[in-house]
Each structure stands twice: as C-alpha cells, then as structure tokens.
Amino acid sequence: MKASLIKRGSIAARERISPDIYIFTIKEPSVADTCSPGEFVNIAVSGKSLRRPFSVFEAGNGTFKILFRITGSGTRILSNCSEGDELDIMGPLGKGFGQPGENPLFVAGGVGAAPLYFLSLKSTCPGTFLHGVCSSDDYIDLEPVSAKGHKIVAVSEESDNCTVIDILDKYIKDAGTVYVSGPRAMMKKAAEISKSNNKKCFISWEERMGCGTGLCQSCVVKTLHGYRLTCTEGPVFKAESIDWNDC
Ligand code: FES
C-alpha cells in the first residue's frame, strides 16, 4: 500500500437528507483535486477493523462529498460524526468511468446515484438522468445536474408505483451510452435492456471490500473473462463483461 494513499480529512459539512441518508462534505484537497467520477475512497470507522468504501459524489475546490445510507453499524457510527471531526481516508481508489460521450443516459437507484451524479456534472454533453428511490423522502437535490443541461426524471416506488427500470424503455432509444449504478438486480435488468437496444453500458459494481488496494482478494466479481477485483480493476465495468448468471 502506498503511504501517500492515506490522508487525514475533516468533515466540513454534514447534511441529513432523510432519516438514514447523509451527505458529508470532506475537506481533503489531495483527494478532491485528483479524483474522477466512479472512483472511491475507503474511510476508517472508529471501532471497526475494516474501512468502508464510498463512491465520490462530488469534488472540487479542496473538498469532496460522499452520499451514503446507514446500512449497518459502520455507516451508523460514521453518520454520528460531527462537523470538524477528522477522518482517516484512503484514496482516491479504483478505476472510474472516463468522460461520457454524446447523449449519456444515467440510470441511478437510491444512493447508487453518487458516482453518476459526479459523472453527470463532469459531462460536457447534455443527457438524461433517471433517479429511482423507494420513498420520496430519499430524493437528493438534482438541481446542479439539471443546471448542466441534463433532463431529470425522478421516480419513487412509493408515490409513483414504478422504478427506473419501468421507464427505461422510454429513454434508451435516444441514448448514446448508458451508465448504471444501484442495486444489483436493477443493474442486471438495465444491462439486459441496454444490450437488447445495442447500447454500450457501464456499471458501477458494489462489493464488500477489505483493503481497497488489491491485497485481500475479498472483492472479486465474476466476469466472462474470469474473476476481477472490484477495488483495483473496477468498480466500473462494461456491463457486457459481467457474468450476470452468477448474480
Ligand atoms: S478489497 Fe482487498 S482486494 Fe479488493
């Protein structure tokens, strides 16, 4: 592990979006000024031996943001941190999306929106951003995405009785490349629909991680070309390369 990957950052802002969803703004210029959409940081949590991985949600001007939902004791401990607290951060890690081309279609599920939000802000071509959530309490502010010229379509299962997959057919025909991040079943379905419409599709794979740097082998994903490490060879993969039968 390169010592230079480990940084100390401080929480500059802590925003509670819903009872269990948070956005933290973290001041750490060397991560903020070098990370790309799709890359992640591995953050140490007090009392836990393993770090927790978080996609970068937004970055610039010396700070970066993470968007996360409380899914267990580690993220609960993190959510209880306060502004000014210091964090032990490793990153930026992984391989990201690269620059989107024309008519990008971003398909985001829940807090899986994080890497696509960042990607859409970096996109120089206007596209469409689909965001599906379980409850309307879980919506995030997509105004900055809209300000970049992207069309926003947000649906809630609870209020609209549909998911982003239910509306994907309507938007995929005009899409250039499709970028997907969210629950695995949603990504699998989006990959199938992209394939049947002859669209290139990239996904951001979520996996449990230990080291984040290729040492522990805990983050393998089965692809059609063999096993790959999510932390160093992903988390972004071509959807067509994943062995979806194994999911
Ligand atoms: S998290 Fe350890 S090898 Fe990927």
- Domains in the chain with CATH codes: 3-93 (2.40.30.10), 105-246 (3.40.50.80)
Distance 209 CA to ligand 1 centre (A): 5
Does this model's pTM top 0.85? My answer is yes
Over residues 70-115, the pLDDT tens digits come to: 999 999 999 999 999 999 999 999 999 999 989 999 999 999 999 9
Helix/strand/coil for 59: strand
Distance 133 CA to ligand 1 centre (A): 29
Contact 206, 116 (CB under 8 A): no
Over residues 183-199, the pLDDT tens digits come to: 999 999 999 999 999 99
What confidence category does residue 4 fall into, taking pLDDT thresholds of 50, 70 and 90?
confident
- Residue 229 alpha carbon, nearest atom of ligand 1: 4
Nearest Cα neighbor of 107 from 158, 97, 242 is 97
Length of the chain: 247
Q: Any idea what the Cα angle at residue 189 is, between residues 17 and 239, rounded to 5°?
A: 95
Nearest Cα neighbor of 181 from 108, 110, 122 is 108
Q: Is 210 in the pocket of ligand 1 (CB under 6 A)?
A: yes
